[in-house]
């Protein structure tokens, strides 16, 4: 398993940062959505539903950096009255990770 850091940005300029050991960056993202305390006031099912079919986009030419690909509906998933999720990314520090081609 590899260590991933998941960072999510909120509309009030807060960021949630969690680290998980996972097989893939998407597994780390799913674990974040399922377990992160910062999402306790959010409907986690709606967050998962707002992920696009390709939920992570690996940056090129960098290794170990993926942007979370939310649909525009993510801004409608609210927490405490006005909180909204804006986006985020997943980082991996493994130098042997595959590079996007």
CA–CA separation, 53 vs 39, rounded Å? 22
CA–CA separation, 31 vs 2, rounded Å? 14
* Cα torsion 3, 93, 98, 57: sign: positive
Q: Give a yes or no: residue 13 inside a domain.
A: yes
Q: Give a yes or no: residue 84 inside a domain.
A: yes
Q: Give a yes or no: residue 99 inside a domain.
A: no
Q: How confident is the model at residue 96 (pLDDT cuts 50, 70, 90)?
A: low
Q: Give a yes or no: residue 55 inside a domain.
A: yes
The SS3 assignment for 56 reads: strand
CA–CA separation, 57 vs 28, rounded Å? 14
CA–CA separation, 6 vs 66, rounded Å? 10
The SS3 assignment for 50 reads: coil
Query: Against a cut of 0.85, is the pTM above it?
Result: no
- Average pLDDT over all residues of the chain: 84
**pLDDT of the residue at 98:** 60
Instruction: State how many domains the chain has.
Output: 1
- Which range has the worst mean pLDDT, 11-20, 77-86, 92-101? 92-101
Structure-token pair, residue 35: 């377990």
Q: Give a yes or no: residue 8 inside a domain.
A: yes
Q: Give a yes or no: residue 100 inside a domain.
A: no
What confidence tens digit (pLDDT) does each residue in 26-66 have? 999 999 999 999 998 888 888 888 888 888 988 877 778 89
Domain coverage including residue 86: 2-92
Q: Give a yes or no: residue 23 inside a domain.
A: yes
Q: Give a yes or no: residue 24 inside a domain.
A: yes
**pLDDT of the residue at 83:** 78
């Amino acid at each position: 398993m590899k260590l991933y850091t998941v960072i999510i940005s909120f509309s009030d300029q807060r960021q949630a940062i969690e680290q998980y050991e996972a097989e893939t960056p998407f597994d780390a993202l799913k674990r974040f959505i399922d377990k992160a305390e910062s999402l306790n006031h959010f409907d986690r099912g709606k967050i998962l539903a707002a992920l696009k079919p390709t939920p992570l986009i690996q940056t090129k030419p960098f290794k170990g950096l993926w942007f979370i690909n939310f649909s525009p509906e993510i801004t409608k998933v609210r927490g405490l009255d006005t909180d909204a999720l804006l986006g985020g990314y997943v980082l991996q520090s493994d130098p042997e990770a595959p590079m996007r081609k």
